[in-house]
Amino acid sequence: MTGTHEGTFEGLRAQLQEAAAMFADGPDALEGILLGIVDDVDHAVREPLEIFPVCHHSPASAIAMARRLREKQPKVVYLELCEDMAPLLTELRNCKLPVAVQSFATEVDGFPVEWSPLSVVAPITEASAEYQAIAYALDTPGVELVLVDRSSDHVFQWDARATQAAGPAAPDAPPAEEEAALHGDAVGVEIGDLRPRFAELEEHLLHHGKVRHWSEWWHQYVELPLGDSDHDTYRQVMLLIGSLFRRLAPGDSHRLRVDEDRERYMWTRMREHLAATGTDPADCLYVCGAFHAASRVAEFGVHGTDTFEISPPSATTWQHGLIPSSHAAIEAQFGLAAGSVSIAATVWAKNVRRTRVEPFRLAGQAGAKKSRAKAKKAVTAAAVGPAEAIPPSDKLTGFLQRPPALDRLDEAELLGWSVEIVRAARRNGYLASTADAIAVFETSILLAGMRDRAKPTPYDFQDAAVTCIEKDTVPGRRDVRRLVEIMMGGDRVGQVGYEALPPLARDVHDRLAPLGLKLQQTGVQRALLDIASQPELERCSDALWMLRHLLPQGAARPIMGERKLGERPIQESWDLALGTYQRALIELGYEGVSIEQVLEQRLRRTAYDRRATTATVLAAVEDATLYLRSRRLADELGTHALEVLSAERSVDGAPEVLRRVRRLLAYYRTSEPVLPSWIESFAKTGYAHYCTLLPTAFTDADATVRQVAATLGFLFGMESLALSLGCDRTQLELAVVQSHPEEPSKTALLWAARVQLGHLSRADLRAKCDELLGNPLVVPAYPRYLSGFVQALEPVPGLTDFVVEAVSNAFARLPDPVLLPWLPTLITTLRSGGSELAPLLIREAGRTFPGRLAALDAWVPPWLAQPEPEALRPAAGPEGPHGCTLLAAHPATCDAVASLLGCEGTWETAETDRPAGAALTGRHPETAAALEALLAGA
């Protein structure tokens, strides 16, 4: 073979050597690059195992691949794709392209925890060379498909996650469509990432090619010239481009090492397979990116060295599946221009019609034509052995010297584009007319001429349409550039068939089947559940609420109905978009076999996270009860909440803890015969814990008033339960006595706590407030005291009337310079931190203040209308004092109480000369007056 190809490129070498000496003023630097490129091409052509270089999503590569497969009919196809993805390729026939083969791992072992979840995707479109190779190998008897690239595990072994996740540079902003996020933050791998890594080289090519981005340059200068070329020309040109980009790549040592290791990995795997099966290399075809085809590593070729050692995989368990993809997702992940993949799909379909090359397609693929004649023909052709290899000749010299072919203008095609874009623009709100269609037609030709093109490309037409139709405004959601992309083929979104879904996704579809919806259809569908008349739909409701918890927000959105502890659903209405969020549903299948298992795993993972707080664990307890109805999991997580609570040293989460504990306690008291042991222990432990933290919280500047109020709310709200379990109220009293706040709002909160404990009377509290209003130095800070009183309604709701009184006094006595700036603060405080307290104040104010405007002038506030002590003295009726007539008429009650207390005595007869009734109260009315004032204030 060496002797056969020895002089293949000698003429080209001589011409390039002369050019290097002429243009570089010396043959050394430039000659090494130019001749090295020719040597790389010659080296790859000499290889006994035929190398087929490709570029990802290139219609020219796909056409050349289909043509070469029918000519050569190889028995083994080696494909540059992660070797662990091989079992999934047979499921492609159950999908609608484009889709992506995905490797996914949620629990990592051997990688940093912050990398989790790990995800690798390899998108496949119909207009790609890899799909042609896969379809040929899977549907042709006797043909073996072998994936030889590094495994998904090695992707993360060799590369830093931050570098891989960033992907190639994207000079063109991706389209702002939700389909662009179908791949999420997964690491993308494709066959043939063929793009200059030398920024100055790409800028030079774009400038002299008079194009805006790399996708347009590739379409103009590679796709079109290679569309009709023969196999040898195509292969040598692609090898030339791969070698050029390889030799002019910047010296990124990490990326270069990864590229070379991949090439060593692939050639090692191919030699292992050849040795194990005894296959003749002449019967094989190696499909890889043109960048890797021009490799010069020592392991290159079937006769290369075997010094490369493949490291063992980590202990991470990988899951594999198919997820839907889209043109926009591929463009966004790999830094391609918006609409380039859609245009490539259009060019592919046009090339198939023009060249009459019969592409390969998996049997049973969505949209495939069923033809027995073609199938029989393919089987017969596969049985025929490959033709004798003919030594390739030098095609590069002729290709490089050939002037660009002048493609005649297809006026009918361009006119059809112009009419169609005007029609689409009118549907989207543009004031376009026939004159605009003519303008787009002429401008496309003009732009092509300015850019030295005989025929307008889709990119020229796109620029012309934007110039002539869009002008300076966009009336609708889509601009003209996006309309052109849709017209050229649109952003096709793939779909994974039911048979290719993981067990969890199939189970979800089966459980939601009673709804009668096409769940795999993209877009939003409305589901109505009348559970009262159809109890079997409650199972669907349970699944939907779990999906709402697990999937992104738009996948399952409740319109009517809610799920609360202790309530059963009656009627519900949902907006479902499971087809649009199929990727997220599939990834759930990597975590478990049912949504209940996945939800339990996530709740447990959230609760046991090292950053989890008590409120977080209690939220997991509530979700376990609400969605899973699992008493076992709730008890386990509730017990863990005790441990987390004991380790906390602040009251930051007290408001959320109080809210969730109250809700759980109310649920268990109404639905369970006895309280769970964990919540009793939580009340007891929390009472002692917050008593310990209370003095510190009152003085801590970082603790807000709302947090301290929630702490007191927990102590007062759980007091009866805690005392019944053995806690001592003295601990709370000591904590309040030891609290010495300096902030006015916390001081007011402490006064409220003392009133609740009985250490401070209402009269004393009212006196303190009057003293504050009477002190000119303290008046500016009085609104802050009121804020504390408002927050005090959480632990002491009995002070609602007093807070209304205090706020009313503030409005009556505070000067405007103090009152007016405080009002916005009061409103924002009630809205953000006291939204549940505002109804208490509003209800009490409505009960206290008059309901009619006319009665307001004569209205006297109840806290100012104090009764006179004489009013408490018994008034004599017209018949004189009657005394305790009711007691004398029915003495049995008094006798029973006296017997119970062990008192003995006799009844006295009424005498007219002795005072009747409560004589002691009449002589000493001060005690009764004080009691009346206390009761009136309460």
Q: Is 119 exposed, middle or buried (0-12, 13-18, 19+ CB in 10 A)?
A: buried
Q: Report the percentage of the chain scoring pLDDT > 90.
A: 28
Distance separating alpha carbons of residues 28 and 619, to the nearest angstrom: 71
Please give the average per-residue pLDDT across 266-280, as a whole number: 91
The pLDDT of residue 144: 93
Most confident of 325-339, 409-423, 558-572: 558-572
Residue 170 pLDDT: 41
Q: Is the pLDDT of residue 327 over 60?
A: yes
In the sheet with 525-530, reading across from the earlier edge strand, the strands are 525-530, 571-576, 556-560
885 pLDDT more than 90: no
pLDDT given at position 838: 77
Answer yes or no: is pLDDT of 358 > 70: yes
Mean pLDDT of 838-862: 81
Q: What is the pLDDT of residue 371?
A: 43
Q: What's the rounded Cα separation, in Å, for the pair 402 and 13?
A: 17
**More confident: 654 or 834:** 654
If pLDDT is split at 50, 70 and 90, which confidence band does 873 have? very low
Q: Which of 10, 61, 42 lies closest to 234, judged by CA?
A: 61
Q: What is the pLDDT of residue 353?
A: 84
Average pLDDT on 638-647 reads 93
Average of pLDDT values for 572-576? 94
pLDDT at 2: 39
Q: Mean pLDDT, to the nearest integer, of 347-357?
A: 84
Q: Is 853 exposed, middle or buried (0-12, 13-18, 19+ CB in 10 A)?
A: exposed
572 forms beta bridges with 529
pLDDT for the residue numbered 31:
54
| Structure tokens given for 803 | 């807070």
Where residue 627 falls among pLDDT bands split at 50, 70, 90? very high
Q: Scanning the structure block, which residue is given the tokens 């987390």?
A: 644
Whether 192 has a pLDDT exceeding 70, the answer reads no
Q: What was the pLDDT predicted at 372?
A: 42
Give 293-307 pLDDT, tens digit per residue: 888 888 888 888 888
Collect all residues with Cβ–Cβ distance below 8 Å to 304 and sequence separation of at least 6: 267, 271, 297, 298
Q: What is the pLDDT of residue 5?
A: 46
Tell me what the mean pLDDT of segment 107-129 comes to: 84
Residue 696 has pLDDT above 90, yes or no: yes
Which of 732, 723, 649, 643 is CA-nearest to residue 684? 723
Give a three-class secondary structure readout of 618-681.
HHHHHHHHHHHCCHHHHHHHHHHHHHHHHHCCCCCCHHHHHHHHHHHHHHHHHHCCCCCHHHHH
Mean pLDDT for the stretch of residues 879-906? 72
pLDDT band at 164, cuts 50/70/90? very low
Band (pLDDT 50/70/90 cuts) for residue 740 is: very high
Contact 289, 78 (CB under 8 A): no
Where residue 179 falls among pLDDT bands split at 50, 70, 90?
A: low
**Torsion (CA) 712, 717, 718, 724 in degrees, nearest 10:** 120
When mean pLDDT is compared across 93-107, 415-429, 819-833, the lowest value belongs to 819-833
Range 284-311 burial, b when 16+ CB lie within 10 A, else e: bbbbbbbbbbbbebebbbeebeeebeee
For residue 872, the Cα-to-chain-centroid distance in whole angstroms is 70
pLDDT tens readout for residues 760-809? 998 899 899 888 888 888 888 888 888 888 889 889 988 888 888 888 88
**Rounded to whole angstroms, how far apart are CA atoms 492 and 688?**
61
pLDDT for res 176:
42
Q: pLDDT confidence of 637, banded at 50, 70, 90?
A: very high
Average pLDDT along the chain = 81
Q: What is the DSSP letter of 851?
A: S
Range of weakest confidence among 21-30, 335-344, 684-693, 841-850: 21-30
Whether residue 395 is predicted with pLDDT greater than 70 in this model: the reply is no
Largest Cα separation within the chain, whole Å, is 149
Per-residue model confidence as pLDDT tens digits over 143-154: 999 999 988 888
